Structure 1
Amino acid sequence: MKSRIIPSISWVALLAGLILLSGCAPPPGSSVALKKQFTQIRQQQKQQAEQIEILQQQLSLLQQQMTAGSNIIKDREPLEIPAAVSAEISALTDSASSYLAAFSSLASGRFISAEAGFAGFLSEYPNHQYAPNARYWLADAQLAQGKLPAAAANLRQIIVNVDGQERAPAALALLAGIYRRQQLNAEADEVLEQLRSRYPDSAESQQLYRSHEPQ
């Protein structure tokens, strides 16, 4: 079966442009965590744009080779894009679009839409580098709707997942808050102790220390 015909370079450049322009800034009232996450998304977009630029250069080289050989073989078929390159471009654009759409919903307070978006992202890209972040924001969207058990379940998944350790301190802090709201004070204290012992240098742990300092 033949791969897809190679797109023009302008089409590939357009893909890169769509990725860079598809983000939306959080509203002025967004939390510090949302702003930090948005900065991380921008960095990921930049990395993805660089990857697409590399692919664009590879495609340009293939087109040059095709042009150089056209004087020898007049009736040759158009050069075809390698299937692996095509799949990589598609994965980059699709995953970025899905994540950013869900994050945009969360930042604008559309929590039902955000919940559906992040759940869909995790279903489609369970091993994506942003999967722990997506699960954290999924829990945040559920918490905003009062879905405490569902939010707690997602946070616990982050905490025990080896790939979610960068997000684990924030997940522990949020989980402790949920337990407090559920009047599960012993569980909340246990979670906060995990935060102190496992991530003593995290921003969440430092904030916890400051909150217990005598005034």
Structure 2
Amino acid sequence: MNKFQSTLAAAAMAAISLVPLQARAALFEDDEARRAILEIRERLNNMQSEINAKADKSNSFDLNNQNEQLKQEIARLRGQIEMLTNELANTQKRQKDFYVDLDTRLRKLEPQQITVDGKEVSVEQGEQRAYEAALAYFKAGDYKNAGASFFDFLRRYPNSGFAPSAQYWLGNTYYAQRDYRNAISAQQVVVKNYPDSPKAADALLNIASCHMELKDKGSAKKTLETLVAQYPDSPAARTAKERLTALK
């Protein structure tokens, strides 16, 4: 009898020692936590089977009393298993939600591939927002703020895929404010630094318009001829030809 009682007590202590506290749940990797739960369940089942088998062979009051205590302890341990299982599931869900949210945020911060003036370029989200904000000022007729915004954009993102367009629109802000000399200077930067951009032909057309506003027909004609020679297939070249005809 004593030997059997000692065996049951030792088994109970072994089972209890295998149950991790709730506070330790976060320290388990998912696979480790699952293995721990399965091991506890297996030992509890073995303990329950052993208790039932021994109970059938004895009517001892003391033994029954100890068996009842062990059954209560088993119920408590099973409650802890359920609590640990729920905590593990909740932790996994929180981790999944966290990483999904983190991945979404990081993707928003990553450079995006977009097409600008027919060319595939990589741009940052902040870079695109800054360009679009400056362009919005221009479309709203707020040329002063548009010019300041395009100037600031070019200072912050000199190598941006939007740079040719930003420089071109900067020139147009000067033109819209009748500052023709600064408009010419700004558009000359487009022609010099971005000769392969579609905006280069448009910049030359704008330069010619500025010369006409300054009553310099000779420079306007020369600029239009350069436009037709360098960018013959561009829409700006067709307009240039029409203007050259009108200047004759």
TM-score normalized by the length of structure 1: 0.58
Instruction: Give the structure 2 partner of residue 78 of structure 1.
Output: none
Taking the aligned partners of 2:193 and 2:225, their CA distance within structure 1 comes to: 18
Instruction: Give the structure 2 partner of residue 12 of structure 1.
Output: 106
Write 1 or 2 for the structure with the bigger share of strand: 2
CA-CA distance at 1:8 after TM superposition:
0.8
Taking the aligned partners of 2:234 and 2:160, their CA distance within structure 1 comes to: 24
CA-CA distance at 1:159 after TM superposition:
1.1
CA-CA distance at 1:108 after TM superposition:
1.0
Q: Which has the higher contact order (CA 8 A, sep 6+)?
A: 1
1:133 to 165, 179, 185: 165
Taking the aligned partners of 1:127 and 1:163, their CA distance within structure 2 comes to: 15
Instruction: Give the structure 1 partner of residue 203 of structure 2.
Output: 171
Instruction: Give the structure 1 partner of residue 139 of structure 2.
Output: 107
CA-CA distance at 1:162 after TM superposition:
4.2
Q: Are 2:233 and 1:197 equivalent residues in the alignment?
A: no
5+ long unaligned stretches in structure 2: 1-98
Letter in 2 for 1:10: T
Instruction: Give the structure 1 partner of residue 218 of structure 2.
Output: 186
Moved over 3 A (4+): 12-16, 39-44, 162-165, 210-213
Taking the aligned partners of 1:157 and 1:100, their CA distance within structure 2 comes to: 21
The answer to whether the 8 A contact 2:134-2:146 is kept is yes
User: How many residues align structurally?
Assistant: 144
Q: 1:210 to 1:188 in 2, by over 3 A?
A: closer
Q: 1:43 to 1:165 in 2, by over 3 A?
A: closer
SS in 2 for 1:126: coil
Q: 1:42 to 1:157 in 2, by over 3 A?
A: closer
CA-CA distance at 1:158 after TM superposition:
1.0
SS in 1 for 2:161: coil
The answer to whether the 8 A contact 1:158-1:164 is kept is no
Letter in 1 for 2:102: S
Q: 1:196 to 1:134 in 2, by over 3 A?
A: same
Instruction: Give the structure 1 partner of residue 154 of structure 2.
Output: 122
CA-CA distance at 1:208 after TM superposition:
2.9
Write 1 or 2 for the structure with the bigger share of helix: 2
Query: CA-atom RMSD, angstroms?
Result: 3.0
Q: Once the two structures are aligned, what percentage of the paired residues are identical?
A: 24
194-203 vs 157-166, which moves further:
157-166
The answer to whether the 8 A contact 2:188-2:203 is kept is yes
Instruction: Give the structure 1 partner of residue 77 of structure 2.
Output: none
* Rg larger in structure: 2
Instruction: Give the structure 1 partner of residue 124 of structure 2.
Output: 92
User: Over residues 148-176 of structure 1, what are the superposed CA-to-partner deviations in whole Å (9 max), with x where a residue is unaligned?
Assistant: 11111011111122455421110010100
CA-CA distance at 1:42 after TM superposition:
10
SS in 2 for 1:109: coil
Taking the aligned partners of 1:117 and 1:164, their CA distance within structure 2 comes to: 24
Letter in 2 for 1:139: G
Q: 1:40 to 1:105 in 2, by over 3 A?
A: farther
User: Over residues 96-116 of structure 1, what are the superposed CA-to-partner deviations in whole Å (9 max), with x where a residue is unaligned?
Assistant: 111111011111111111001
SS in 1 for 2:232: coil
TM-score normalized by the length of structure 2: 0.51
Instruction: Give the structure 2 partner of residue 58 of structure 1.
Output: none
SS in 2 for 1:152: helix
